Amino acid sequence: MSPRAIRPRKRSVASSGASEVIEVYIGLRSGGWALGGQTQAWEAHESPALGLERWACDIGERHGHPWRKARADLWLSGALARPFLFGPVAGIKGWREAEVVAAAAAPEWTGLVGPCRVRLEAWPGEDSTVCTALDASLSDAIESIARSCRITWRNVRPRWSVALDAALGKRPSTALFAVYEEDAFTLLCESTSSGTASPGMSVAATYSPALEEAEAKALWHRMKISFGVQDHDAVQVSVSTPGQGGSMSPELGGSWPPTGGAAT
């Protein structure tokens, strides 16, 4: 199957900055929700599913109607939705099979425990591609909570992918991208060195728990040197959250809610 077979996907609504968008952020240990860019609630939780259920039902009660469900974007932290490079894998016959193989490989590559659901960004037959893994039980919980709390998810995406959209919007030549979150440090790198056979993604990984600041900076510099990334093509985003008390690196920017997010 050819990579062209991938269906075109619409651009996220969240990145358009709608004023009355309901956004839910769920991390490994805390989460909350915002309405129109204003944080409505933020609290630590025992498990992502419990936190998500609490906020979803809160949103459903406050913004749902008897005849219409509340619509919200769900952003997942890098610790929950982790990217990894998958493939190339020869002999795969279809997307379904590719996803099954990727899901089987996901725990080993991402460190997630238990069965995973994956999303492939391209056909993994000829080249490696970015694949994002999510715990299957959390994926099921997201679906069942939406039904029970009368809420419709407009988007269920990793927070880092939304930040990447914003970064690419401001700087299309971005080759090295890192997102700092409370519970994860996600790194994506595209090789720009001359002589590289393929211009595709070279690194896609999430470090959870998040690296210490010194470790993160060291890794950042190693990546820049290893893959020949210029400073102006390297973008770091720190997603500060109300529970975090500020960004890891003040100069990196980033904010919660993501509609007000900044990339440097």
Partner 1 sequence: MKRVEAQFKPVWRATRVALGGLAFLTLATVVAVGVVVWEHGRIASLQTRIAQLTAERSASSPQWTSRPAPPYDASARQFLRERAAGWAPMLRTLESGAMVGVTPTSVEFNAQDGVARVRLAYVNSEVLLDYLERINEGVPDAHGKPRWVLVEAHDDGDRSPGSATQLTEGRVQAIATIQSVWLAEPPALNR
Interface map 40-79 toward partner 1 (x if CB under 8 A): ------------------------------------x---
- For residue 145, give the amino acid letter: I
Q: Is residue 190 within the footprint of partner 1 (CB under 8 A)?
A: yes
Contact status, residue 35 vs residue 20, Cβ threshold 8 Å = yes
CB of 117 vs partner 1, minimal distance in Å: 7
Please tell me whether residue 138 adopts helix, strand or coil conformation. Answer: helix
Give whichever of 139 and 259 is closer to partner 1, judged by the CB atom. Answer: 139
Q: Is residue 248 within the footprint of partner 1 (CB under 8 A)?
A: no
Please tell me whether residue 15 adopts helix, strand or coil conformation. Answer: helix
> Is-cis flag, bond preceding 88, omega within 30?
yes
Residue pointed to by tokens 């590719």? 98
Q: Which of residues 75-114 bind partner 1 (CB under 8 A)?
A: 76, 81, 83
Q: Is residue 142 within the footprint of partner 1 (CB under 8 A)?
A: yes
Count the Cβ atoms, other than its own, within 10 Å of residue 219. Answer: 17
Judged by CB under 8 A, the stretch of 28-36, 43-51, 94-102, 135-143 that binds partner 1 is 135-143
Judged by CB under 8 A, the stretch of 20-28, 34-42, 140-148, 254-262 that binds partner 1 is 140-148
CB neighbours of 248 closer than 8 A, spacing ≥ 6? 180, 210, 213, 216, 238
d(CA 52, CA 75): 11
Q: Is residue 153 within the footprint of partner 1 (CB under 8 A)?
A: yes
Instruction: Work out which of 110, 128, 132, 240 binds partner 1, going by CB under 8 A.
Output: 132
Q: Is residue 14 within the footprint of partner 1 (CB under 8 A)?
A: no
d(CA 101, CA 159): 25
Dmax (CA) for the chain in angstroms is 60
Q: Is residue 207 within the footprint of partner 1 (CB under 8 A)?
A: no
Positions in the binding site for partner 1 (CB under 8 A): 9, 76, 81, 83, 117, 119, 121, 130, 132, 134, 139, 142-143, 146-147, 153-158, 161, 164-165, 168, 174-175, 177, 188, 190, 201
